[in-house]
Amino acid sequence: MHTFYGYRRQQGLPGVRNWVAIIPSVFCANTVVRRIAQQVVGAVELTHPVGCSQVGLDLELTAKALKGVGRHPNFYGVVVVGLGCERFQAQELADSIAAMGKPVEMVVIQEEGDTQKAIDKGVRLALKLVEQAAKQQKEEFPLSELCLGLKCGGTDSTSGIAANPALGWVTDQIVAEGGSAMLTEVTELIGAEHVLARRAVTPEVGQKILETVRNMENKLKVGTAHSDLQNRSALISPGNEDGGVTTVVEKALGGIHKGGTGPITGVLAYGEPIGEPGLYILDCPGHDGEAVTGLAASGCQVVVFTTGRGTPTGFPGVPVIKITGNTSTFERMKFNLDFNAGEIIDKGLSIPEVGAGLLQKVIETASGVPTKAEIGMNDELFCITRSYGG
Amino acid sequence: MLTALRIDPRDNVAVVLRNVQKGEEVLVNMKTGAVHLTAQSDIPFGHKIAVSCLLVSEPIIKYGEEIGNAKTPIQSGEWVHLQNIYCERGREN
């Protein structure tokens, strides 16, 4: 049985980091949030473009995303910064975080007066939280306390034969030891949903998997139906095609390998946390940022991101381990990538051999070794999903 | 040394593991022993090579599942990609 070192929280899973998050309830507070984080080591900023003039499902998705990341196990505490007049109120976010037993403070720019006063108050509050966080010691936890987010992006044909199978091996190990994992990017499951539905623990879950993928496919059809938009209707990218992936079904079948071979326990809605441990499908679209944001909002402490073509991206406060099955990509981009699964192709190593190395990497990362994206302060992947009346 | 990988025994395409030149002999792993194909054109690393002949509209099988159908007749050893396969899923109607 494997273990990792993490930080115990009042409720829920342990954190693998102990950051203080500075989170705006609305984009108008972004610069204040940034200036606070810049003045306090140990703070991370989670700026975003929403919170204003939203209604209905669109506003609800914003609320779910911000509450989900605000309550994330990797954050010791949070400073919420609001403007004062926004639709998604800072108080609602702060209350949701406090309900988890997580230390939270709030600054509202219009109440403080101006940005300088808000920054000053925010910095003092963040400093206090960082000092408290520093007193917390790590403890040892079994893998059953880990929830791994699974992602692929910049797919080429090595993704389906090396990187994703190696990650799938890791997923199987983690779930076998009582832990959890989440597969998402429902757009990337189109064509492989029947393969996933066969693995559902009950026929109801199987049906839910099929419905979730079909709903996404219908949304895409509606979105691309206009005759003027036919040149914008491709579900696979130029990078995928150059990399040898010809059809959306081929891409999906290669992608689902990262979910391993085990049973699928359920389908989660955006922002929904897991119940019992197991492998889940999370209903998020294929946009790299929206998918990783969904994984974080549902509580994944670590994300593994397979990439054939290479991507430098990361997420504020959540380690994103980047792995590729393409050795020449790894050689070119190793400044931004963490693990080369390409040895399956060019050295003939077996999937379990490389998978064992990747599991070691996941455990090391959880226990404190920073990823290239964390060292580089890459935070591109915090992207809240919008709903434009669809 | 293998130059192409057939992932599942039911597959009718294999993935080439390095850039292949037209006319080169390609060695594909198969359960009953290796198979030799002659590449009908240059094939880039990671792209697919047909392991057997395929008729128009015949399904292309990779990972043991249908990934699309042949647009044109395909010879064994031919590069299989956008020029000769189509897929109904994810297409505009």
Last residue of a domain, one of A106, A134, A162: A134
Please report whether residue A354 resides in a domain: yes
Of A157, A190, A241, the CB nearest to B89: A190
Nearest CA in chain A to B44: A244
Residues A66 and A209 in one domain: no
Confidence check: pLDDT of B93 > 60? no
> Do the Cβ atoms of B61 and B48 come closer than 8 Å?
no
- Cβ distance B87 to A160 less than 8 Å, yes or no, reads no
Cα(A29)–Cα(A203) distance, integer angstroms: 46
Domain encompassing residue A355: 143-375
Confidence check: pLDDT of B79 > 80? yes
Residues A121 and A255 in one domain: no
pLDDT averaged over 10-residue windows placed end to end, chain A, 390 residues: 97 97 97 98 97 92 96 98 91 97 97 97 98 98 98 89 96 98 94 94 97 90 75 77 91 94 97 96 93 97 96 97 96 97 91 97 98 97 83
Tell me the CATH number at A102.
3.40.50.2300
Please report whether residue A2 resides in a domain: no
Q: Is B10 on the interface with A (CB under 8 A)?
A: no
Q: What is the mean pLDDT of chain B?
A: 90
Please report whether residue A388 resides in a domain: no
- The pLDDT assigned to B56 comes to 96
Provide the residue type at B36 as one letter. Answer: H
- Cβ distance A156 to B48 less than 8 Å, yes or no, reads no
Nearest to A265 by CA among A94, A147, A124: A147
Residues A124 and A148 in one domain: no
Please report whether residue A254 resides in a domain: yes
Residues A160 and A118 in one domain: no
- The pLDDT assigned to A151 comes to 96
Residues A258 and A333 in one domain: yes
- Cα A324-A312-A339 angle, rounded to 5 deg: 30
Please report whether residue A202 resides in a domain: yes
- The pLDDT assigned to B92 comes to 44
Helix/strand/coil (H/E/C) assignment for every residue in chain A: CCEEEEECCCCCCCECCCEEEEEECCHHHHHHHHHHHHCCCCEEECCCCCCCCCCHHHHHHHHHHHHHHHCCCCEEEEEEEECCCCCCCHHHHHHHHHCCCCCEEEEEHHHHCCHHHHHHHHHHHHHHHHHHHHCCCCEEEEHHHCEEEEEECCCCHHHHHHHHHHHHHHHHHHHHCCCEEEECCHHHHCCCHHHHHCCECCHHHHHHHHHHHHHHHHHHHHHCCCHHHHHHCCCCCHHHHHCCCCCHHHHHHHHHHHHCCCCEEEEECCCCCCCCCCEEEECCCCCHHHHHHHHHHCCCCEEEEECCCCCCCCECCECEEEEECCHHHHHHHCCCCCEECCHHHHCCCCHHHHHHHHHHHHHHHHHCCCCHHHHCCCCCCCCCCCCCCC
Count of structural domains, chain A: 2
Question: To the nearest whole angstrom, how far is the Cα of A285 from the nearest Cα of chain B?
Answer: 14
- The pLDDT assigned to A235 comes to 77
Please report whether residue A386 resides in a domain: no
- The pLDDT assigned to A217 comes to 87
Count contacts between A and B (CB, < 8 Å): 83
Q: Is A248 on the interface with B (CB under 8 A)?
A: yes
Residues A98 and A162 in one domain: no
- The pLDDT assigned to A228 comes to 72
Residues A82 and A161 in one domain: no
Last residue of a domain, one of A134, A166, A184: A134
B5 contacts in A (CB within 8 Å)?
161, 345
Tell me the per-residue pLDDT of A176-210, one tens digit each, with 9 for 90 and over: 999 999 999 999 999 899 999 999 999 999 999 99
Residues A100 and A185 in one domain: no
Of B7, B46, B92, the CB nearest to A156: B46
Which candidate in B2, B3, B89 is best for mutational testing of the A interface (most A CBs within 10 A)? B89
B87 contacts in A (CB within 8 Å)?
191, 246-250
A190 contacts in B (CB within 8 Å)?
89-90
Residues A73 and A183 in one domain: no
- The pLDDT assigned to A390 comes to 46
Q: Judged by CB atoms within 8 Å, which residues 295-354 of A form the interface with B?
A: 308, 326, 345-346, 348
- The pLDDT assigned to A288 comes to 92
Domains of chain B, CATH where assigned: 4-86 (2.30.130.110)
B79 is written with which tokens? 């590069």
Last residue of a domain, one of A134, A160, A192: A134
Please report whether residue A171 resides in a domain: yes
Residues A169 and A307 in one domain: yes
Please report whether residue A3 resides in a domain: no
Residues A295 and A364 in one domain: yes
Cα(B85)–Cα(B54) distance, integer angstroms: 11
Q: Judged by CB atoms within 8 Å, which residues 16-75 of B form the interface with A?
A: 17, 44-48, 62-63, 65-68
Cα(A29)–Cα(A25) distance, integer angstroms: 7
Q: Is A59 on the interface with B (CB under 8 A)?
A: no
Residues A148 and A287 in one domain: yes
Question: To the nearest whole angstrom, how far is the Cα of A170 from the nearest Cα of chain B?
Answer: 20
Tell me the per-residue pLDDT of B42-69, one tens digit each, with 9 for 90 and over: 999 999 999 999 999 999 999 999 999 9
- Cβ distance A225 to B92 less than 8 Å, yes or no, reads yes
